[in-house]
Amino acid sequence: SYELTQPPSVSVSPGQTATITCSGNALPKQYAYWYQQKPGQAPVLVIYKDKERPSGIPERFSGSSSGTTVTLTISGVRAEDEAVYYCQSADRSDSWMFGGGTKLTV
């Protein structure tokens, strides 16, 4: 079955740049979406269509895509960015999938 693979954890110091990857065979053909989830809260969309940022999301969040890997980059990481980040994509037009999540520790 199709999978989206993320590293379980990433750790950075405040002010540094965090990069979180997501790999999947369908990513060259399907857009990716990124969500931030803090403990006890619902997920929040931070990137859509690989690299677009919803209104209200800080500019330090950016997304990129290359082949079978998409990347979420957080520049100038702040303590408030500590959360679990999930990628999401489709393996076909009628089926969505989430990656396993990456815990970002600041």
Partner 1 sequence: EVQLVESGGGLVKPGGSLRLSCAASGFSFSTYTMNWVRQAPGQGLEWVSTISTGGTYIYYGDSMKGRFTVSRDNAENSLFLQMSSLRVEDTAVYYCARTYITSSGNSYSNYGMDLWGQGTTVTVSS
Q: Are strands 102-105 and 9-11 parallel, antiparallel or unpaired?
A: parallel
Exposure b/e, 15-31, CB count within 10 A at least 16 = b: eeebebbbbbebbeebb
7 near partner 1 (CB under 8 A): no
Interacting positions 32-61 with partner 1 (CB under 8 A): 33, 35, 37, 42-45, 47-49, 54
Which of 36, 99, 104, 106 lies at the binding interface for partner 1 (CB under 8 A)?
Answer: 99
80 phi, psi to nearest 5 deg: -70, -10
By the criterion CB under 8 A, which residues form the site for partner 1?
A: 1, 31, 33, 35, 37, 42-45, 47-49, 54, 84, 86, 88, 94-101
